[in-house]
């Protein structure tokens, strides 16, 4: 005889199975996955360009563009143009055009930060319209652009920025957003060219690759990159490139003579490769000479970069955040209006030469 309780229980289980009918399916080969999305502003409207890889037939990727007044109807517009359902879960890079960046990203950021399907993706800005850059990727492998940016961040001196870091900088107080900048060079190749520094959601100004590396030294744990400087001492002249291997940074905001001062200690372990004529690393004196020159060069350039940020009223290093740690009655407005403006900067660099390569061409 059937147990009444058992029947009830099984009934509940059976009924709950019907719930599965409500779950929208997205079978992997029946959705339009996109890898790159570019946003820009055109005629006071929002323009999106998306790149679909064509894995099924190994053909070329396709570029679709749509224009709408707000991000939600943009998705709808794109949906009208694609074969399958439009899915953002596999987006790897998001590019914001120059016009939109200067106008403000708030609309777009608000939409994408609510979508749980968007994972850790790279956010970049571009000099011109993202269209031009995306068009160049169509003939390349589907992941070309993502690999390009990843590699630059990994060891070419660009600060590590992704969606989560960007949210932290955007929503967090005492720090400003900074995004890598993409550019087409004169031959039409995509390359990374410095960074864009934001105030709030608006692009304020751009910095060069060299300055981006200095910024990376001050905010990133990963410090690999190449720094070049002019060496001119004791009659030895030349431009030296040193590869930074690893290191540490320590930032403090202290009060000195009634004035706030940002003190920054950088320790870098470097690899010396090419040397100017006549300099021999076997001589202790020469080695110290190069070290001192390098330390001085990095310190002064970093200080001038910080002053540059100060003059523009932006704070991508996050000094406000460091100040906040020790000050109970911190207010963001107050900090940037009164304290940051008059802040002094002091960068101390310590260089440790770890590798010099084998052999020495004596002259």
- Helix, strand or coil, per DSSP, at residue 357: coil
Binding mask of the shown chain, residues 137 to 156, with x at each position contacting another protein by CB under 8 A? -----xx--x----------
The Cα 120–Cα 92 span in angstroms is 8
Q: Does 120 bind another protein (CB under 8 A)?
A: no
Q: How far is the CB of 141 from another protein (least distance, A)?
A: 10
Q: In what order do the strands lie in the sheet with 259-272?
A: 225-233, 236-256, 259-272, 344-355
Applying CB under 8 A, which part among 85-93, 199-207, 209-217, 317-325 lies near another protein? 85-93
Q: Which of 33, 109, 272, 279 binds another protein (CB under 8 A)?
A: 33
Q: Which of 12, 28, 358, 361 binds another protein (CB under 8 A)?
A: 28
Q: Which of 11, 81, 110, 119 binds another protein (CB under 8 A)?
A: 119
Q: How far is the CB of 274 from another protein (least distance, A)?
A: 36
Q: Which of 8, 55, 60, 69 binds another protein (CB under 8 A)?
A: 55
Using the Cα atoms of residue 138, residue 141, residue 146 and residue 150 in order, give the sign of their dihedral: negative
132 token code pair: 């031009």
Q: How far is the CB of 39 from another protein (least distance, A)?
A: 20
The count of residues interacting with another protein (CB under 8 A) is 25
The residue among 279, 232, 256 whose CA lies nearest residue 343 is 256
Nearer to another protein, 27 or 358 (CB): 27
Q: Does 23 bind another protein (CB under 8 A)?
A: yes
Nearer to another protein, 29 or 257 (CB): 29
- Helix, strand or coil, per DSSP, at residue 260: strand
Quick one: which H or E segment has residue 241? strand 236-256
286-312: b or e for each residue (b if 16 or more CB lie within 10 Å)?
bbebbbebbbebbbebbbebbeebbee
Q: Does 117 bind another protein (CB under 8 A)?
A: yes
17 token code pair: 């199975």
Q: Does 20 bind another protein (CB under 8 A)?
A: yes
Q: Which of 90, 222, 269, 299 binds another protein (CB under 8 A)?
A: 90
353 Ramachandran zone, left/alpha/beta (phi>0; psi -120 to 50): beta
Concatenating the DSSP letter of every residue in 145-192 gives: HHHHHHHHHHHSS-----HHHHHHHHHSTT---EEEEEEE-TTS-EEE
Q: Which of 26, 73, 259, 331 binds another protein (CB under 8 A)?
A: 26
- Footprint of another protein on this chain (CB under 8 A)? 17, 19-20, 23, 25-29, 31, 33, 35, 53, 55-56, 58, 87, 89-90, 92, 117, 119, 142-143, 146
């Amino acid at each position: 005889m059937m147990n009444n309780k058992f029947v009830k229980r099984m009934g509940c289980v059976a009924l709950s199975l019907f719930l599965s009918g409500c779950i929208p399916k997205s079978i992997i080969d029946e959705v339009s996955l996109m890898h790159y999305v570019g946003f820009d502003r055109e005629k006071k409207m929002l323009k999106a360009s998306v790149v679909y890889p064509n894995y099924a037939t190994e053909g070329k990727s396709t570029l679709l563009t749509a224009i709408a007044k707000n991000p939600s109807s943009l998705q709808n517009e794109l949906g009208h143009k694609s074969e399958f359902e439009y899915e953002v879960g596999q987006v790897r890079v998001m590019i914001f055009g120059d016009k939109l960046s200067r106008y403000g990203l708030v609309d777009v950021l608000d939409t994408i930060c609510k979508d749980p399907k968007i994972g850790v993706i790279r956010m970049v800005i571009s000099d011109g319209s993202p269209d031009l850059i995306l068009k160049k990727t169509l003939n390349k492998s589907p992941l070309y652009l993502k690999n390009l940016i990843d590699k630059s961040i990994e060891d070419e001196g660009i600060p590590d920025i992704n969606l989560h870091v960007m949210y932290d900088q955007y929503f967090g107080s005492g720090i400003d957003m900074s995004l890598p900048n993409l550019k087409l060079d004169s031959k039409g190749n995509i390359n990374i060219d410095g960074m864009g520094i934001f105030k709030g959601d608006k692009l304020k100004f751009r910095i060069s690759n060299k300055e981006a590396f200095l910024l990376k030294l001050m905010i990133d744990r990963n410090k690999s990159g190449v720094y070049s400087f002019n060496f001119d001492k004791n009659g030895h002249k030349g431009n030296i490139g040193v590869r930074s291997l690893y290191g540490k940074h320590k930032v403090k905001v202290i009060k000195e003579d009634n004035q706030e001062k940002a003190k920054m200690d950088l320790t870098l372990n470097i690899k010396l490769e090419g040397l100017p004529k006549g300099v021999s690393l076997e001589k202790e004196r020469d080695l110290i000479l190069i070290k001192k020159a390098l330390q001085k060069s990095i310190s002064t350039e970093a200080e001038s970069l910080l002053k540059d940020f100060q003059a523009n009223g932006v704070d991508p290093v996050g000094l406000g955040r460091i100040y906040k740690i020790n000050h109970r009655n911190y207010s963001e407005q107050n900090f940037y209006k009164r304290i940051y403006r008059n802040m002094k900067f002091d960068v101390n660099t310590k260089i440790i030469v770890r590798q010099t390569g084998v052999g020495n061409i004596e002259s």
